[in-house]
Amino acid sequence: MNGNRRTNILFLTDDEHRWDFYTGGLIDGLQTPAVDRLKRMGVTFSNAFSNCPVCMPTRFTWLTGLYASQSPSGPRNAKDWPCGHKTVAHALQRAGYETAIIGKLHSHCGRTMAGRHLSEFEKRARERGFDYVFECQGAKTRSRYTDYIIEKHGEEFYEKMVEDVASRDHRIGGTNLYSPSFLPTEDRQDVFIADEVVRWLSERSSGKPFFLHASFTGPHFPHDPPEPYFSRYGPGDMPPPVGVDDPRELKYWREQRAAYCGKIEHIDYLIGRILDAVEANGLLDNTIIVFSSDHGDMMGDHHLFYKIHPYDASIRTPTIVYDPSSKRPGGTVLTDMVEAVDIPATFLEVGTDEHLQDAMPTSLARSFLKYARGAVNSHREWAYCEHGNFCEEGARVYRLARDREWKFVFYEKGNMLFNIREDPFEQNNLVDDESQMTRVNEMQARIIRRMGEMMVPPESLETNVPIEFYKGVL
């Protein structure tokens, strides 16, 4: 019997939060007191990585312990999750846990959700292992949140809200790219999610231990923080993105960065409310809290926006663990590599006696629980990340290996090798340096071995590790 069987698990996540946008990070003056509080209480993994830097694949990984390539949806953001995979939530249910998802699950793509209400899919979320389902997903997807907005302000107000979101998306011709949200702060979707998390923590009465995934939708674009957060930072407070010197482009990115910082501070405030609720309900001494994000955001570096890309700004994530059973002092920073896939394996070890391969078959995850607690002093030597299928053209397809000092990217746009220690913003590609050929071959071999280890579970109807990849590498 696992001695920590009755330990509660709170998985706190936000969306598209770059790893270095915190107090003391890239932006002078940015304040994230709630995350700072977690760091002081727990341990910070300074080298944590998304296995696929887009929303749906990472969230699939968080629940199943599988890489996106082990799913027929593949390492991209365009297909619904398949049904039938075993999840860590199932295992925790079997161990007597009450399980809940509040906020963004994102198991269905936009095409599926067009014209439909998220409540139609709650049965599927329960089939994935959640007893309580309270899903929200963006302003355009009908959900409990949009029901709340319509009930409070009317349908016309809701349509205005959807139009405002569209006006901030330059990909579809939006021109309103730098202004505060017209929504009152109390009506923001992430406030709605935080309110429900606090209510659930305060009113639950089952007597069971809980596994709660509290999942915010920000600071994902559009970057439209409400006041007073919008005015906390101005474009002049923002450092220029890496490699950008054109005045008009600089103006755009600095405006985006300033608004992004406002959204981050708002999310941090809401995280603080949840931590206060955990403490107020007497749960702090018996609850493991893991905070992470699904991926980062380029924020203009290398002239790039959003996630997807193989640079650290996109693939590196903030990951912090508070564990009341840890022997490590609060504030410890751990530097071994950690992958998103390791998070569900850790929850499995916290709450059950099940073997990883029984609970989540074919998973290559490694629990970091003993590493976080100080029982061992190492975890992973290197991390793996992927995006796109090699049988698809123009999909920004790559596979990469990253250790503390080096990153190698096998990329359809051209392979890359960076010395991260000397070149943290990845500006000097050394892949053609003859003195680095042995290193390139070794890191390339790492990628091939990892992909060769990926077994496709029976729930996945087709493989997403095409032979074209191996032919290209070999």
Q: Which two structure tokens, joined as six digits, stand for 327?
A: 């022997």
Task: Give a yes or no: residue 298 inside a domain.
Answer: yes
* 461 band by pLDDT with thresholds 50, 70 and 90: low
Q: Which long-range contacts (CB under 8 A, 24 or more apart) does 173-176 make?
A: 174/222
Task: Give a yes or no: residue 284 inside a domain.
Answer: yes
Task: Give a yes or no: residue 60 inside a domain.
Answer: yes
Q: Which two structure tokens, joined as six digits, stand for 11?
A: 């998985």
Task: Evaluate whether 266 touches 224 at the Cβ level (below 8 Å).
Answer: no
Average pLDDT over residues 205-232: 94
Overall domain count for the chain:
1
What is d(CA 326, CA 160) in angstroms, rounded to the nearest whole number?
49
381-to-336, 405, 443 alpha-carbon distances in Å: 6, 11, 12
Going through 370-473 in order, the beta strands assigned E by DSSP cover 383-387, 398-402, 406-411, 416-419
Q: Per-residue pLDDT tens for 266-313? A: 999 999 999 999 999 999 999 999 999 999 999 999 999 889 999 999
For 99, half-sphere exposure in the C-beta direction (CA atoms, 13 angstrom radius) is: 22
**What mean pLDDT value characterizes the chain?**
92
Task: Give a yes or no: residue 295 inside a domain.
Answer: yes
Q: What is the pLDDT of residue 471?
A: 43
Task: Give a yes or no: residue 424 inside a domain.
Answer: no
Task: Evaluate whether 36 touches 273 at the Cβ level (below 8 Å).
Answer: no
The one-letter amino acid code at 97 reads Y
Assess whether pLDDT exceeds 70 at residue 356: yes
Task: Give a yes or no: residue 456 inside a domain.
Answer: no
Task: Give a yes or no: residue 224 inside a domain.
Answer: yes
Q: Per-residue pLDDT tens for 21-78? A: 999 999 999 999 999 999 999 999 999 999 999 999 999 999 999 999 888 777 777 7
Q: Which domain range does residue 75 map to?
A: 8-377
Q: What is the pLDDT of residue 213?
A: 98
Count the neighbouring beta carbons within 10 Å of the beta carbon of residue 303.
13
Assess whether pLDDT exceeds 50 at residue 149: yes
* Residue 334 dihedral angles phi and psi, to the nearest 5°: -110, 135
Q: Greater confidence, 115 or 104?
A: 104
Sign of the torsion formed by the C-alpha atoms of 301, 304, 306 and 308? negative
Q: What is the DSSP string of 342-365?
A: HHHHHHHHHH----HHHHSTT---
Task: Give a yes or no: residue 391 inside a domain.
Answer: no
* 425 band by pLDDT with thresholds 50, 70 and 90: very high
CATH number of the domain to which 72 belongs: 3.40.720.10
